[in-house]
Amino acid sequence: MVAKQVEAVDVIKMKKQFILLVISCIAFNVLFAQVDPAQSSYKKKVLETAEVDFLMSYYTQDGKHASVTGGIGNEKLTDMTPTIVVTIPLNVDDVLTVDAGISAYTSASSSNLDPFDASGASNGEGSDDDDRRVFASDAKGSPWVESSGASSKDVWTSINANYSHSSDDRNSIWTANVGFASEYDYSSIGFGGGFTKLFNEKNTEFGIKGQVYIDSWNPRYPTELDSYLEAGQNLNNGFFADIDILNQSGDIIDKDGVQVWSPLNTTLLNDKSRNSYSVSFSFSQILSKNAQFSIFFDLVQQKGWLANPMQRVYFADRSNYYVGNASSIDNYTSPRNTDVFQLADDLERLPTSRFKIPIGARLNYFINESVSLRTYYRYYFDDWGIKSHTVNLEVPIKFADGKFTLYPNYRFYNQNAADYFAPFESHSSSSKFYTSDYDLSKFDSHQYGLGFKYTDIFARLKVFKLGLKSVDLRYSIYNRSDGLDSNIVSAGIKFVLD
């Protein structure tokens, strides 16, 4: 009996010891997993610390083919774009990037939505250029003179957020983004996602990305077209009541006569949406210790009102009518014309669908410690008849132990004209689609640039809690064969959080 009791106590003790051993093992394993430095350091953070980029650009252009005035006129434009990009590591795998910026511009071409502002024919108050004309009888304007109405300047604002998640082995990356942009006649909501897969010891990379933009016009129209409809299509009413309209000979027309000005269409814009859907594929491959290349391929479908409701068109087969100084009509297409304006025949009209396919490739070669070669080529075609080639070459040159880099670069671009393009006074009014926007004309362009970069990989210079990592400066000149010339200065400062 006693022996049985001792045996039972021994069994209970053994059970307790076994349970204790199991608990100890589990506890050890848990503890081991928590404190193992080798395992925790094995998974390196995708981004070690938060980064802040302050970016800025200043762009100017000048030309003689303003699209708002039907393919002739002053194209002067300035644009300043302060932008901030904050990149934050959320944990070892995830990164959030927030990108916010504005683009503040002044445009001579846009100002001529209401060309009669220059003469004080309207007081320019409010967002609508064609309100409250107080001296309409003095109305005069010119495609070559910048007007002063509300449409002469605007601010475009945008904010985007991008989230990325990397797998434990860093061979798979998922991304998602959402964004919003707005200006006075346009707003946009964008969202998308992507997936990137790395193979072959990270020598090969394949990516796919989808992007949707749901955009909407808040249309502004050339003032004479808008005013004509507001006045009930009667030239003795509203804005036109106190204005003399001239024919090609400079004679004042009888507004009740047979030969009077009227636009071709009285329907302006009947669809305010303008949506874009794109799928992008990318493939990159390391070729050797010194060379790698990538190929990009996009499929883009656009639907909605793809024409710009601000842009006038003048037909060759319709009579011309003017407002302003009769003696300047003969010089209408010359910059010497400062005081007569031709009334539009219509807005530009373009198909409500466009399918675009750009295919691009990059090849980068590391020549030596100081010099690399960056090359890019793109072939593009769409169902509006545009085909284009783009070539870009850049040769980064490092000096002072890599602290400084110079970036001389050159870009060549050419395109043929869209099927619907014709110059000022060249379209036929029987055409279904027409535009005189020279961005859709046949041209080639050359861009020459020089960049400069200062890099401090240790970010030793501190500003509060931010360490300066790099400073970028870039200047480029752009010459288009139709006479448009532009300059752009860009600057960027990157900080890392201490």
Partner 1 sequence: MKKKIIVNAAIVICCTSCVAVKEYEKININDPDMNLSATSIKRFETNFQVYREGASGANGGKTGGGCGCN
Q: Restricting to residues 7-66, name those near partner 1 by CB under 8 A.
A: 53, 55, 57, 59, 61
Identity of the amino acid at 110: S
Q: What is the CA radius of gyration of the chain?
A: 32
Beta bridge partners of 288: 291
What are 233's two structure tokens? 């299509």
Total residues binding partner 1 (CB under 8 A): 91
DSSP percent split of the chain into helix, strand, coil, nearest 5: 15, 45, 40
Tokens (6 digits) for 39: 């395992």
- Measured CA to CA, the distance from residue 214 to residue 276 in angstroms comes to 7
Does the footprint of partner 1 cover residue 82 (CB under 8 A)? no
Q: Is residue 109 within the footprint of partner 1 (CB under 8 A)?
A: no
Indicate whether 285 belongs to the interface with partner 1 (CB under 8 A).
yes
The interface with partner 1 within residues 423-452 (CB under 8 A) comprises 439-440, 445, 447, 449, 451
Q: Report the sign of the C-alpha dihedral through residues 24, 28, 31, 34, in that order.
A: negative
User: Residues 24, 167, 172, 204: which binds partner 1 (CB under 8 A)?
Assistant: 204
Question: Cα dist. 356→39, 279, 341 in Å?
Answer: 48, 11, 36
Closer to partner 1 at the Cβ: 26 or 212? 212
Asked if 188 interacts with partner 1 (CB under 8 A), we say yes
Which range of residues in 10-18, 20-28, 201-209, 258-266 is near partner 1 by CB under 8 A? 201-209
Shortest distance (Å) from residue 405 CB to partner 1: 7
| Cβ proximity to partner 1, 126 vs 210, nearer residue | 210
Backbone phi, psi, residue 12, to 5°:
-60, -45
Site for partner 1 in 349-408 (CB under 8 A): 354, 356, 358-360, 362, 364, 366, 372, 374, 376, 378, 380, 382, 384, 386, 388, 390, 396, 398, 405
Contact between 302 and partner 1 (CB under 8 A)?
yes
* Cβ closest to partner 1, residue 103 vs residue 328: 103
* Of residues 215 and 332, the one with the C-beta less far from partner 1: 215
Q: Report the SS3 class of residue 58.
A: strand
- Residue 21 makes CB contacts below 8 A (sequence gap 6+) with none
Q: Which residue lies nearer to partner 1 by CB, 203 or 233?
A: 203
- Residues of span 220-249 touching partner 1 by CB under 8 A: none
For 178, the 3-state DSSP assignment is strand
Of 294, 59, 242, nearest in space to 138 by CA: 242
Instruction: Kindly tell me which residue out of 116, 322, 341, 413 binds partner 1, with binding defined by CB under 8 A.
Output: 413
Q: Which amino acid is at 498?
A: D
Window contacting partner 1 (CB under 8 A); options: 31-39, 140-148, 255-263, 468-476: 468-476
Using rule CB under 8 A, residue 108 touches partner 1: no
Candidate list 100, 229, 491, 497; residue touching partner 1; CB under 8 A: 491
Pairing state of beta strands 312-313 and 372-382?
unpaired
What the block records as the tokens of 427 is 């379209």
Q: How far is the CB of 129 from partner 1 (least distance, A)?
A: 17
Q: Which one, 190 or 335, has the nearer CB to partner 1? A: 190
3-state secondary structure 59-112: EEEECCECCCCCCCECCCEEEECCEEEEEEECCCCEEEEEEEEEEEEEEHHHHC
| Residue 33 DSSP SS3 | helix
Closest CB to partner 1 among 14 and 287?
A: 287
Question: Which of residues 128 and 138 has its CB atom nearest to partner 1 in the complex?
Answer: 128
Contact range with partner 1 by CB under 8 A, out of 36-44, 196-204, 247-255, 340-348:
196-204
Q: Distance between CA atoms of 182 and 155, rounded to whole angstroms?
A: 8
Q: Contact between 298 and partner 1 (CB under 8 A)?
A: yes
SS3 259: coil
